[in-house]
């Protein structure tokens, strides 16, 4: 079992991977039993060869996508603390010791490298990425009542308990959103750490698709909100359906009936009853799913206890 595992997902990062690995090696010299893992995700250049030459343990994930890489990392590696950093040399490795201490000494479950509070908006040359980061941060903090200052950052530290209880569902770059919401909803201890950010060096290309990945992130946010807060999510549809039913019934059926004592608008009456039925169904669907979600929260607490026991067993075996 490692004391600290540095996790570096990499896809076609030959230009920067050697520098990132060497920089990380320099800052973790004082941390015993530290290992740098580079997971190559079907790179078409010599990323894996350069990483291995620089001193990293190189492994491969053949299912394409950052989410698939992180799933493999979390399943295969046991460590007291984990730090994930991108291979594009945009993050300062000097923050690693402090992030590590927060995991070990303060028992923080996830430390978020906060770019948006420092140099991100000055360094990043893609304006729609700036808008997207701000939009996603505002939306998530509003919906989930949290204060994570950089939702989409790839620079994070994790506890053993977080890694071994986090269900990786996403395949692509929306994985960071999933991590942030999972930690919030499971009441895990999260801290922000302000870090500097520098844009990619010339010749290095981002793998992000501004619009495609942006829509995937927003879709992930809505799906996770529906999953974690089903009653609130379905109550919106229940309320809207009930409002349509009441307004259409009163305006097109009840008021004319009070004057003529005949039901002249049968189609409207039928439609209003359908919307009323939809309102009732969505209300009780949300209630049932909310009960299931509460039960899942209780099961998750038991998963945390089991993760603690596994960690203690690994540490005792190591000693």
Give 77-105 pLDDT, tens digit per residue.
Answer: 999 999 999 999 999 999 999 999 999 99
Confidence band of 210 (pLDDT split at 50, 70, 90)? low
Phi-psi region of 220 (alpha: psi -120 to 50; beta: other; left: phi over 0): alpha
Average pLDDT over residues 228-255: 94
Confidence band of 257 (pLDDT split at 50, 70, 90)? confident
- Token digits for 11? 């896809």
Query: CA-CA distance, 217 to 212, in Å (whole number)?
Result: 9
Query: CA-CA distance, 311 to 309, in Å (whole number)?
Result: 5
State yes or no: pLDDT of 271 exceeds 80: yes
pLDDT in tens, 163-192: 999 999 888 778 999 999 999 999 999 999
Please give the distance of CA 194 from its chain centroid, rounded to a whole number: 18
- Token digits for 88? 């594009």
Residue 10, H or E segment: strand 2-10
Contact 51, 10 (CB under 8 A): yes
Query: CA-CA distance, 123 to 208, in Å (whole number)?
Result: 16
Q: The domain 2-228 is classified under which CATH number: 3.90.550.10, 3.40.50.1820, 3.40.50.2300, 1.10.3720.10?
A: 3.90.550.10
pTM reported for the whole predicted model? 0.86
Phi-psi region of 14 (alpha: psi -120 to 50; beta: other; left: phi over 0): alpha
Show me where the domains of the chain are located. Answer: 2-228, 230-318
Contact 216, 173 (CB under 8 A): yes
Distances 92 to 4, 85, 87, 114, 207 between C-alpha atoms, Å: 17, 9, 11, 12, 20
State yes or no: pLDDT of 259 exceeds 90: no
- Token digits for 136? 């996603």
pLDDT in tens, 117-164: 887 877 776 666 677 788 899 999 999 999 999 999 999 999 999 999
Alpha helix segments (H runs only) across 250-265: 255-260
Nearest one of 1, 7, 4 to 56, comparing CA atoms? 7
Determine the straight-line distance between the first and last CA of the chain, rounded to whole angstroms: 10
Contact 165, 183 (CB under 8 A): no
Query: CA-CA distance, 125 to 269, in Å (whole number)?
Result: 56
Confidence band of 215 (pLDDT split at 50, 70, 90)? confident
Average pLDDT over residues 194-221: 78
- Token digits for 192? 């922000």
Confidence band of 209 (pLDDT split at 50, 70, 90)? low
Rounded to 10 degrees, the C-alpha dihedral 209/215/219/224 comes to 50
């Amino acid at each position: 079992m490692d004391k600290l595992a540095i996790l570096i997902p990499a896809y076609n990062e030959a230009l920067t991977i050697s520098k990132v690995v060497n920089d990380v090696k320099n800052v973790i010299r004082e941390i015993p039993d530290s290992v740098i893992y580079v997971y190559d995700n079907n790179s078409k250049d010599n990323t894996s060869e350069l990483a291995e030459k620089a001193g990293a343990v190189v492994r491969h994930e053949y299912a394409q996508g950052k989410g698939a890489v992180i799933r493999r990392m979390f399943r295969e590696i046991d460590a007291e603390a984990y730090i994930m950093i991108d291979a594009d040399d945009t993050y300062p490795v000097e923050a690693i010791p402090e992030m590590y201490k927060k995991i070990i000494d303060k028992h923080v479950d996830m430390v978020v490298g906060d770019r948006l509070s420092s140099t991100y908006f000055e360094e990043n040359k893609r304006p729609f990425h700036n808008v997207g980061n701000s939009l996603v941060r505002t939306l998530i903090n509003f919906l989930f009542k949290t204060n994570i200052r950089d939702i989409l950052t790839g620079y994070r530290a994790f506890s053993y308990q977080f890694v071994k209880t986090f269900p990786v569902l996403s395949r692509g770059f929306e994985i960071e959103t999933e991590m942030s919401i999972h930690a919030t909803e499971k009441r895990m201890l999260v801290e922000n750490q302000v870090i500097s950010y520098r844009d990619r060096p010339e010749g290095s290309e981002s793998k992000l698709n501004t619009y495609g990945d942006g829509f995937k992130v927003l879709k992930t946010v809505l799906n996770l909100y529906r999953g974690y807060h089903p009653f609130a999510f379905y109550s919106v549809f229940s309320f809207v359906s009930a409002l349509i039913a009441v307004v259409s019934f009163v305006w097109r059926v009840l008021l004319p009936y009070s004057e003529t004592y005949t039901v002249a608008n049968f189609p409207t009456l039928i439609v209003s009853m359908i919307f009323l039925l939809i309102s009732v169904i969505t209300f009780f669907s949300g209630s049932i799913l909310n009960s299931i979600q509460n039960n899942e929260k209780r099961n998750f607490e038991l998963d945390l206890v089991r993760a603690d026991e596994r960690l203690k067993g690994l540490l005792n075996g190591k000693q």
